Amino acid sequence: MQQLVVGNIVEGKVTGITKFGAFVDLGDGKTGMVHISEVAPTFVKEIRDFVKENDTVKVKVLSISEDGKISLSMKKAEPQQAAPAKTERPARPKRTAPPRDMGWRGPKPTPEPQSFEDMMNRFKQTSDDKMSDLKKYMDGKRGTSFKRGQR
């Protein structure tokens, strides 16, 4: 007789399979369930790919609820494999060439001091250029099948 204590590893026989888990007969009229997430250490889409009815399996007792439901794990019953040693990445070589041109040209040269009128004239010219470009763009969007004011 196997003792059902949380943490113990016991053997049982698979008696039923559902889409969410497998039922395992543990003897003495006790049945536990292995949830699909506890079947294998990998993603399990179809339980039948890992276990069949009437298979004898080793399971670890995860919990026993007050109402007698027994939660089992097949993946935790297997000896834990040591994680593969991490291999370090080779160090990246230092860049010798300058990075690709990203449009950055370094700090802008400081402009010569200008009078307020010069700055205002330059602002107005830039603004007029932008407005002209915008007007051409919007006129092109409206179509050229009619002139303004005519339909």
CATH number at residue 31: 2.40.50.140
99 domain-assigned? no
Residue 29 belongs to some domain of the structure: yes
Q: In the Cβ-directed half-sphere of 59, how many Cα atoms lie within 13 Å?
A: 33
93 is a domain residue: no
pLDDT of res. 151: 52
Strand partners, 23: 16, 33
Q: Is residue 1 part of a domain?
A: no
Tallying the residues shown for the chain, one arrives at 151
Last residue of a domain, one of 73, 103, 123: 73
**Residue whose tokens read 């010069």:** 118
Which of the four pLDDT bands, split at 50, 70 and 90, describes residue 135? confident
CA distance 151 to 146: 6
CA distance 74 to 64: 16
Tell me the residue range of the domain where 41 lies.
9-73
Model pLDDT, residue 113:
76
- Bridge-based pairing of strands 30-35 and 9-17 is unpaired
Q: Is residue 107 part of a domain?
A: no
pTM over 0.85: no
Do 65 and 119 lie in one domain? The reply is: no
Would you say 62 and 76 are in contact if contact means Cβ atoms under 8 Å apart? yes
Query: Which pLDDT band holds residue 112 (cuts at 50, 70, 90)?
Result: confident
Q: Is residue 53 part of a domain?
A: yes
Domain assignment present for residue 103? The answer is no
pLDDT digits (tens, 9 = 90+) for 22-79: 999 998 889 999 999 999 989 989 999 999 999 999 999 999 998 989 999 999 988 7
- Cα–Cα distance for residue pair 18/50, rounded to 1 Å: 13
Whether the pLDDT of residue 1 is over 90: the answer is: no
Does some domain include residue 100? no
Instruction: Name the token pair of 140.
Output: 């092109």
Confidence of residue 140 (pLDDT cuts 50, 70, 90): confident
> How far apart are the C-alpha atoms of 39 and 34, rounded to whole Å?
7
Q: Which of 3-17, 27-41, 66-80, 104-118 has the lowest mean pLDDT?
A: 104-118
Question: Of 52, 73, 94, which marks where a domain is finished?
Answer: 73
Q: Report the domain count for the chain.
A: 2
Predicted confidence at residue 31, as pLDDT, reads 92
Last residue of a domain, one of 41, 73, 105: 73
